[in-house]
Amino acid sequence: MTLTPPTSDDWIALTDQSLDVGIATDWVALPGCGAVVVFSGLVRDHADGSSGVTHIDYEAWAEQVTPRLTAVADEARRRWPDLGRVALWHREGRVLLSESSVVVAVSSPHRGAAFDACEFAIDTLKESVPIWKKEFFDGGSQWARSAQHITDVNDRGVLA
pLDDT tier, 148 (very low <50, low <70, confident <90, very high otherwise): low
CATH assignment, 16-143: 3.90.1170.40
pLDDT in tens, 24-43: 999 999 999 999 999 999 99
Round to whole Å and give the CA distance between 24 and 10. 11
Q: What's the average model confidence in pLDDT over 136-150?
A: 74
More confident residue, 144 or 38: 38
- CA 63 centroid distance within chain: 17
More confident residue, 48 or 94: 94
Percentage of residues of the chain with pLDDT beyond 90: 76
In the predicted model, is pLDDT for residue 6 greater than 90?
no
pLDDT tier, 158 (very low <50, low <70, confident <90, very high otherwise): very low
In the predicted model, is pLDDT for residue 155 greater than 80?
no
What pLDDT sits at residue 2? 55
Nearest to 46 by CA among 149, 142, 115, 156: 142
For the CA atoms of 65, 126, 105, 18, the dihedral, rounded to the nearest 10 degrees, stands at -70
